[in-house]
């Protein structure tokens, strides 16, 4: 299995560390920056970062179109924080490039600014005990449209979704030592 991590900007190195902790070899984890890189992997993670910048770069270099095509052909994709924003069909109150892969609407920075970042336990469907959610300027899902389904909430706010082989989380599991969500993603 070849797993890609979109490596344009953001915390992609932490996802690579988590994938290696799942037992993948270094040759099985690929930093993806171009459509050609994406063509070498079976699944991919879109990490946290800055969605406006990443969106512009994805659009400019064709990676966005390649990700859309790969998802349409069944490639599992997982977006964490900014990655979930990039996968959403709509960003509330903003006009910005997204991949429009998840039938959800998201609100950026819904828990507040950087100084309001926090960690807390989150119960995610498919994981038997809570995971530690690291929320950094995290988005929330304000609307879920079928066939997407909510898979976790925190404080009454939706923070994880799944739509077939596509998943999105508001929080950063890669910033913890718990690799269960990465392991789950590898089973899709």
Distance CA 135, CA 7 (A): 21
Catalytic residue among 15, 107, 172, 182: 172
Q: What is the pLDDT along the chain (188 residues), one digit of tens a residue?
A: 999 999 998 889 999 999 999 999 999 999 999 999 999 999 999 998 888 888 889 999 999 999 999 999 999 999 999 999 999 999 998 888 999 999 999 999 888 777 778 999 999 998 999 999 999 999 999 999 999 999 999 999 999 999 999 999 999 999 999 999 999 999 99
Q: Which residues pair with 4 in a beta bridge?
A: 30, 44
pLDDT at 146: 97
Tens digits of residue pLDDT in 64-89: 999 999 999 999 999 999 999 999 99
For the chain, list the domains and their CATH numbers. 3-187 (3.40.50.880)
The C-alpha angle 90, 82, 116, rounded to 5 degrees, equals 110
Active site residue 81: yes
pLDDT at 94: 83
Catalytic residue among 15, 81, 107, 182: 81
Distance CA 131, CA 102 (A): 22
Active site residue 172: yes
Active site residue 22: no
Q: What is the 3-state secondary structure of the chain?
A: CCEEEECCCCCHHHHHHHHHHCCCCHHHEEEECCHHHHCCCCEEEECCCCHHHHHHHHHHHCHHHHHHHHHHCCCCEEEECHHHHHHEEEECCCCCCCCCCEEEEEECCCCCCHHHCEEEEECCCCCCCCEEEEECCCCEEEEECCCCEEEEEECCEEEEEEECCEEEECCCHHHCCCCHHHHHHHHC
């Amino acid at each position: 299995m070849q797993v890609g991590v979109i490596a344009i900007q953001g915390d992609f190195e932490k996802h690579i560390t988590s994938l290696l902790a799942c037992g993948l070899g270094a040759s099985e984890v690929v930093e993806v920056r171009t459509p050609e890189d994406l063509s070498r992997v079976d699944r991919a993670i879109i990490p946290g970062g800055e969605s406006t910048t990443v969106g512009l770069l994805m659009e400019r270099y064709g990676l966005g179109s390649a990700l859309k095509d790969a998802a349409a052909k069944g490639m599992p994709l997982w977006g964490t924080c900014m990655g979930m924003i990039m996968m959403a069909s709509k960003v509330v109150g903003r006009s910005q490039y997204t991949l429009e892969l998840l039938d959800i609407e998201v609100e950026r920075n819904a828990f507040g600014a950087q100084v309001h970042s926090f960690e807390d336990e989150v119960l995610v469907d498919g994981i038997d005990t809570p995971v530690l959610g690291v929320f950094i300027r995290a988005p929330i899902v304000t609307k879920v449209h079928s066939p997407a389904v909510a898979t976790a909430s925190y404080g009454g706010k939706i923070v994880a979704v799944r739509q077939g082989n596509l998943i999105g989380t508001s929080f950063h599991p890669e910033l913890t030592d718990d690799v269960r969500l990465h392991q789950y993603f590898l089973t899709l």
